[in-house]
Structure 1
């Protein structure tokens, strides 16, 4: 009979858990679902309606609109004055040159940070800059400016009606639309509803606990009304907001919670949700796009703050297209027919019109005149495009040549001062598509709150279970690798010391249940922060970002502390002869850890003030606890040392 080792069983169990986890993850972030599977007739009827409405795509300029998006502007009076001057240039020059029907400003209009970059509060001068730039540029006379709040625009705001909520006084839409709202655009043969989703929590506490958007019951009901109005008045819906859907939490009512993705996707007219907030992960994920399982695109736009990005989008004969562009990079080119293969939305667009179209259609813009636009399928033979109606350039083509597979269209645009750009554009007529990258899908399709809770729960178990298991073992664990054997032997000995073991376990268990901060989370209002949410002003905010805050403590403080105390224990048992500078050097790991803790506690003070610093069990009090445990380990009584030495001699 074959004897299966514990290690083999453990490995099989881990592989099984990992495979189940990966299967669920891949299912959640899959982009090949057909949201019309349950009602195939709905797809046929809707696309047939759009096909009849728009007829054939030709060289004419009708049934076409275009608009811009800008996000995370972060106008600041303390840092990077280029944000202000170049935002003024955007309003004065870019908007004038592109002449969009609508501009979406999707949140974080101002920075709202203090000079030290740690504290957060609304700065009136920043809002005045925003207001004056829009007013003096005259941009609202040329287009419809639709702005909405982001989390920075909601820092330190007691209520939506508070005087400090400068969005109501200095933004374009805030005067009439302090929260979510709708704008119907009916022009050039298109009826498009733009719905802004304001998910800023009320009240708005200071950073960092303002990362996740929250839709309360009244706002969910308001959005339901806006959606009904859009479906009655428009053929297409463009949703926009600051937070990605992965960062929006809906409050429950009668055990029912609004699923924001299903809510957006339940309307056949929904085509895209445009957002910001994640700053393209510091520029590491510049193309943060995905097709949600309900069939609409979610497009996060890189920030203006550091990257000076904006988006040009268009709806041409019911087909949505877009391109993200760096500021003052000209010419700007957007191909609207044929559509980019990766961003096709079957059932939401009349994609069959592409194969029936007579002309390639290209929007080309520059701050001077466009000199020429050419197209090629092989980058060798170039065909000149004709200007139909500025800025639409067209070129005849024969779609049947490209009936199967993915093909590439190349566009060369040049303006009158010699600046040029070449765009490579994949397209298909048979439904062949290109896959979205996995990182954007994870960031936009998972639920951030669930991810934060999972990370926190995993780290909590790593802080508790290994110590408990080692505590109940009568003999130290054995490993072939000498260094692993030595480390686990140290920790095993540490768990045998009651005065060390119980404080480590009890503090780790305190973190998910006890208060972390008691302080002035909003000017004039005392609040209490727990792992599971925030209590302030008689309200409960289920802010999931707290879990990430606790995860930092568990990962960078509590886990290293266990290893450092185990190391100090060995020094106490076997290093009595170490003295002077050598002993000081041996304690450098704890000194480094203590420095990290003091820095984290100092951030507490900068973010929430003296009270939060003094009444901060998570950060400040843990400093004293860890010093005490370190001291107790280094000064362990002789009788403990003799007992541990005997245990250490066990084989």
Structure 2
């Protein structure tokens, strides 16, 4: 994106075509001219679900899949929602001779250091990528001993293959970070099918040539018979490493399931993970936006068409459903109906509000449904459609929580006045619901004023003032008619 927009409309990352093409060409150059195979890891701020496609439709997912990435590590969401946000991306890409290839890579969300003091140790062991997260709750008092199993990897969040096929390795490795002397390191293997009984204890020694007390060499290693642990179940066998330091303390790693064949656990459906990492919000936003606008257009135009046929046909007047009567009565007032139709098309084609989109002391710019439009000093459009998908944090709540309820409630007020649902409690309910919608609307406008300036937003007609004015006029008309 050419220019940054202030919160809250900064939800997405916006790569450019040049950035994606540069990364792709650079990776292809490395694959072509370097002999050694490389383990590829990408670091970014935004999750891929909140990363928009480029103007030409390119995405990082395709680049990562085409270039056999292992992992994409991101931030943005931090640990506010969950400390275990991991997602396995699987994409089908074009291969040689018109064959389709299935490529996969992991996306791992980082915890945040600022508020939760999360840290992550990432390791690469002969192409096997793994990590360990921990929290430094009292980092000023010193660094506690940390254990990172670099191989075997966790079959829940680090293995790529669901059917196995990986080269079986007869080694087990762990990194030990400690400010004290390390006296003993032992790996224990558990069998979950036998109530997690210990099936083997394996002593780990410093890597060949390293002294046990030379802390700058934290890699510990052992050989084992990996064939013993072959299993179709990737969570049958678990491993845990125990460390005893010179102070006599015993520290252990987290238990992790492993598969020597590289099998991965088929991900069970978690709604939170799916919404945050599995959904392409850029595509979903378009669907949610236009389905709502289509519903509103149908809600406003269909009653007029039905009203026309009902007036001309006595038969239709005798059998139409009360809900149809509700819609027809809600559209009888031409002034209100025309005002709502005009307002809806204004939201589609005209600016919603004005505000300081870039900075507090910047230019006042209009916000359209298609994005912010920024002009230069000569009043000539310089940037158009800026932050279009980011506006979902404004447009979707406004359409779903204010505009749609407003249209339905105004229909209800006129239907109640027309004796379709005539009762005192019905009108009180409609008025209470209208007040609640106005309260939600007021809260949204307050947040936008804090974000983009009180004056410009307050002087905008469409978003802050139109809904309450339509409510007031509708309530007044249903009282005096």
TM over 0.5: yes
From 279, 282, 286, the counterpart of 1:453: 286
Is it true that 1:568 corresponds to 2:406 in the alignment?
A: no
What is aligned with 1:391?
A: 218
Q: Is the 8 A contact 1:561 1:593 kept in 2?
A: yes
CA distance in 1, matches of 2:46, 2:84: 17
Q: CA 1:602 to 1:429, structure 2 compared with 1: closer, same or farther past 3 Å?
A: same
SS at match of 2:3: coil
TM-score calculated relative to the size of structure 1: 0.57
Query: Which deviations, in whole Å up to 9, do the C-alpha atoms of 1:7-54 show, x marking residues without a partner?
Result: xxxxxxxxxxxxxxxxxxxxxxxxxxxxxxxxxxxxxxxxxxxxxxxx
Pairing 1:547-558 to 2, within 5 Å after superposition: 547-558=392-403
Instruction: Give the aligned partner of residue 374 of structure 1.
Output: 186
Contact 1:318 1:350 in 2 (8 A): no
Alignment of 1:275-424 (within 5 A): 275-279=74-78, 282-284=80-82, 286-293=84-91, 294-328=103-137, 331-342=145-156, 343-345=158-160, 351-352=166-167, 355-357=168-170, 359-366=171-178, 368-369=180-181, 372-378=184-190, 379-381=196-198, 383-389=201-207, 390-405=217-232, 406=234, 407-414=236-243, 416=245, 418=249, 420-421=251-252, 423-424=254-255
1:240 alignment counterpart: 43
Q: CA deviation at 1:241?
A: 0.9
- Pairwise CA RMSD: 3.5
Q: 2:303 — aligned with what?
A: 470
Residues 234-278 of structure 1: CA deviation (Å, up to 9, x unaligned): 7232211101222222433xxx4423212223224x322111113
Q: 1:634 to 1:336 in 2, by over 3 A?
A: same
SS at match of 2:9: coil
| Structure 2 residue ranges without an equivalent (≥5) | 92-102, 139-143, 191-195, 208-216, 311-315, 376-381
Preserved contact between residue 531 and residue 547 of structure 1 (Cα < 8 Å): no
| Helix, strand or coil at the partner of 2:303 | helix
Kept in 2: contact 1:290–1:441 (CA 8 A): no
Partner of 1:620: 464
Report whether the alignment pairs 1:589 with 2:433.
yes
Q: Distance in 2 between matches of 1:244 and 1:433?
A: 22
Show the counterpart of 2:67: 267
What is aligned with 2:365?
527
Cα distance 1:283–1:520, how it changes in 2: closer, same or farther (>3 A)?
Answer: closer
What is the rounded CA distance, in whole Å, between the counterparts of 2:478 and 2:299 in structure 1? 23
- Specify the alignment match of 1:603 in structure 2: 447
1:524-551 CA distances to partner (integer Å, 9 max, x unpaired)?
2232211122212411325312134211
Task: Rate the CA distance shift 1:510–1:571 in 2: closer, same or farther, 3 A.
Answer: same
CA distance in 1, matches of 2:17, 2:472: 47
Query: Contact 2:189 / 2:201 at 8 angstroms: preserved in 1?
Result: no
Q: 1:404 to 1:599 in 2, by over 3 A?
A: closer
Q: For the Cα contact (< 8 Å) 1:477–1:489, is it kept in 2? A: no
The aligned length equals: 421
How much has 1:595 moved relative to structure 2?
1.8
**Alpha-carbon shift at residue 207 of structure 1 (Å):** 0.8
Please name the residue that 1:213 is paired with. 13
Show CA shifts across 1:353-381 (max 9, x none). Answer: xx242x21122335655564433333443
Q: Which deviations, in whole Å up to 9, do the C-alpha atoms of 1:322-366 show, x marking residues without a partner?
A: 23333349553332222222422469x9941xx242x21122335
1:434 Cα deviation after fit: 0.5
Q: Is the 8 A contact 1:518 1:611 kept in 2?
A: no
Residues 453, 547 of structure 1: 8 Å contact kept = no
Judge conservation of contact 1:292–1:445 (CA < 8 Å) in 2.
Answer: no
Q: Residue 535 of structure 1 aligns to a residue in which SS? A: strand
| 2-structure distance, mates of 1:391, 1:584 | 72
Distance 1:331 1:633 in 2: 74
Contact 1:340–1:426 (8 Å) recurs in 2: yes
1:158 paired residue number: none
Other structure's SS at 1:539 match: strand
> Hey, what does 1:502 align to over in structure 2?
338
Structure 1: state its 5+ residue gaps: 1-200, 480-484, 638-651
SS at match of 1:410: strand
What displacement does 1:425 show? 1.9
Deviation track 1:487-546 (CA, whole Å, cap 9, x = no partner) reads: 664344212332222322332333232211222212322322111222124113253121
Cα distance in 2 for partners of 1:464, 1:284 equals: 39
Q: CA deviation at 1:465?
A: 1.6
Deviation at 1:411, TM superposition (A): 0.6
Q: 1:361 to 1:618 in 2, by over 3 A?
A: farther
| Alpha-carbon separation, structure 1, partners of 2:169 and 2:400 | 58
